[in-house]
Amino acid sequence: MPNLYPYNYWIFYAAIAVLVIYTIVCLLKIAGMAKDMLAFLKPRTDKLQRELTLMKIKTEAMAEKKAEDAKKNKWLKLAMPILLAIYSTYRKDEEAHGPKGYVKAAKKYFNERNEEQKFIKKVRAALK
Protein backbone atom coordinates (compact mmCIF):
# COMPACT_ATOMS: atom_id res chain seq x y z
CA MET A 1 0.00 0.00 0.00
CA PRO A 2 1.40 3.38 -0.90
CA ASN A 3 2.22 5.78 1.85
CA LEU A 4 0.01 8.89 1.59
CA TYR A 5 1.05 10.40 4.89
CA PRO A 6 1.52 13.99 3.81
CA TYR A 7 -1.77 13.96 1.87
CA ASN A 8 -4.11 11.96 4.08
CA TYR A 9 -5.55 15.05 5.82
CA TRP A 10 -6.05 16.77 2.46
CA ILE A 11 -7.95 13.75 1.19
CA PHE A 12 -10.01 13.72 4.39
CA TYR A 13 -10.85 17.44 4.03
CA ALA A 14 -11.75 16.99 0.36
CA ALA A 15 -14.09 14.09 1.26
CA ILE A 16 -15.80 16.23 3.90
CA ALA A 17 -16.16 19.11 1.41
CA VAL A 18 -17.68 16.74 -1.18
CA LEU A 19 -20.02 15.36 1.48
CA VAL A 20 -21.14 18.87 2.53
CA ILE A 21 -21.69 19.93 -1.10
CA TYR A 22 -23.61 16.74 -1.82
CA THR A 23 -25.76 17.29 1.31
CA ILE A 24 -26.53 20.89 0.28
CA VAL A 25 -27.47 19.83 -3.25
CA CYS A 26 -29.74 17.07 -1.87
CA LEU A 27 -31.45 19.48 0.52
CA LEU A 28 -32.06 21.96 -2.31
CA LYS A 29 -33.55 19.19 -4.47
CA ILE A 30 -35.76 18.03 -1.59
CA ALA A 31 -36.92 21.63 -0.97
CA GLY A 32 -37.83 21.98 -4.65
CA MET A 33 -39.73 18.69 -4.58
CA ALA A 34 -41.58 19.78 -1.43
CA LYS A 35 -42.51 23.08 -3.08
CA ASP A 36 -43.80 21.22 -6.14
CA MET A 37 -45.77 18.82 -3.93
CA LEU A 38 -47.38 21.71 -2.04
CA ALA A 39 -48.31 23.37 -5.33
CA PHE A 40 -49.80 20.05 -6.47
CA LEU A 41 -51.82 19.53 -3.26
CA LYS A 42 -52.98 23.14 -2.77
CA PRO A 43 -56.10 22.93 -5.01
CA ARG A 44 -57.18 19.73 -3.30
CA THR A 45 -56.69 21.15 0.19
CA ASP A 46 -58.54 24.34 -0.80
CA LYS A 47 -61.45 22.22 -2.04
CA LEU A 48 -61.51 20.26 1.21
CA GLN A 49 -61.37 23.49 3.20
CA ARG A 50 -64.36 24.88 1.27
CA GLU A 51 -66.30 21.65 1.80
CA LEU A 52 -65.56 21.73 5.53
CA THR A 53 -66.74 25.34 5.73
CA LEU A 54 -69.96 24.46 3.89
CA MET A 55 -70.55 21.48 6.17
CA LYS A 56 -70.03 23.68 9.21
CA ILE A 57 -72.56 26.20 7.91
CA LYS A 58 -75.04 23.42 7.14
CA THR A 59 -74.69 21.88 10.60
CA GLU A 60 -75.22 25.30 12.21
CA ALA A 61 -78.32 25.85 10.10
CA MET A 62 -79.65 22.41 11.00
CA ALA A 63 -79.02 23.08 14.69
CA GLU A 64 -80.92 26.38 14.45
CA LYS A 65 -83.79 24.68 12.64
CA LYS A 66 -83.87 21.93 15.25
CA ALA A 67 -84.01 24.53 18.02
CA GLU A 68 -86.85 26.37 16.27
CA ASP A 69 -88.76 23.11 15.76
CA ALA A 70 -88.28 22.21 19.41
CA LYS A 71 -89.61 25.62 20.40
CA LYS A 72 -92.66 25.17 18.13
CA ASN A 73 -93.22 21.65 19.40
CA LYS A 74 -93.06 22.92 22.97
CA TRP A 75 -96.18 24.99 22.45
CA LEU A 76 -97.85 22.15 20.59
CA LYS A 77 -97.06 19.74 23.44
CA LEU A 78 -98.51 22.21 25.93
CA ALA A 79 -101.64 22.82 23.85
CA MET A 80 -102.31 19.19 22.91
CA PRO A 81 -103.82 18.07 26.26
CA ILE A 82 -106.07 21.14 26.33
CA LEU A 83 -107.21 20.52 22.75
CA LEU A 84 -107.87 16.86 23.53
CA ALA A 85 -109.89 17.84 26.61
CA ILE A 86 -111.95 20.29 24.55
CA TYR A 87 -112.49 17.62 21.87
CA SER A 88 -113.63 15.05 24.44
CA THR A 89 -116.01 17.63 25.94
CA TYR A 90 -117.35 18.34 22.44
CA ARG A 91 -117.90 14.60 21.80
CA LYS A 92 -119.77 14.18 25.09
CA ASP A 93 -122.15 17.06 24.39
CA GLU A 94 -124.88 15.88 22.04
CA GLU A 95 -126.12 19.41 21.32
CA ALA A 96 -122.72 20.66 20.10
CA HIS A 97 -122.38 20.85 16.32
CA GLY A 98 -119.75 22.58 14.16
CA PRO A 99 -117.46 25.44 15.18
CA LYS A 100 -119.98 26.91 17.61
CA GLY A 101 -120.07 23.57 19.37
CA TYR A 102 -116.29 23.63 19.76
CA VAL A 103 -116.46 27.15 21.23
CA LYS A 104 -119.18 26.00 23.62
CA ALA A 105 -117.10 22.94 24.61
CA ALA A 106 -114.03 25.13 25.17
CA LYS A 107 -115.98 27.50 27.43
CA LYS A 108 -117.41 24.56 29.36
CA TYR A 109 -113.96 22.98 29.74
CA PHE A 110 -112.33 26.20 30.97
CA ASN A 111 -115.21 26.88 33.39
CA GLU A 112 -114.83 23.38 34.85
CA ARG A 113 -111.08 23.84 35.05
CA ASN A 114 -111.43 27.17 36.85
CA GLU A 115 -113.88 25.64 39.32
CA GLU A 116 -111.45 22.79 40.01
CA GLN A 117 -108.60 25.25 40.57
CA LYS A 118 -110.74 27.30 42.97
CA PHE A 119 -111.65 24.14 44.84
CA ILE A 120 -107.97 23.11 45.10
CA LYS A 121 -107.06 26.59 46.40
CA LYS A 122 -109.79 26.37 49.06
CA VAL A 123 -108.54 22.96 50.16
CA ARG A 124 -104.95 24.21 50.37
CA ALA A 125 -106.04 27.26 52.35
CA ALA A 126 -108.01 25.03 54.73
CA LEU A 127 -105.01 22.72 55.24
CA LYS A 128 -102.65 25.56 56.17
HSE, CB side, 13 Å, CA atoms: give it for residue 50. 6
Res. 2: pLDDT tops 70: no
Please name the amino acid found at residue 128.
K
Q: What is the mean pLDDT of residues 6-35?
A: 93
Encode pLDDT of 21-75 as tens digits. 999 999 999 999 999 999 999 999 999 999 999 999 999 999 999 988 888 778 7
Of 35-44, 93-102, 116-125, where does mean pLDDT reach its minimum?
A: 93-102
* Gap between the Cα atoms of 29 and 125, Å rounded: 92
Confidence at 1, pLDDT banded by 50, 70, 90: low
pLDDT at 21: 98
- Helix residue spans in the chain (DSSP H): 8-92, 98-127
Domain residue ranges of the chain, discontinuous segments joined by +: 1-69
* Local structure of residue 7 (DSSP, 8 states): G
* Gap between the Cα atoms of 10 and 124, Å rounded: 110
Do residues 123 and 108 make contact, with C-beta atoms less than 8 angstroms apart?
no
Residue 56 Cα to chain centre, angstroms: 7
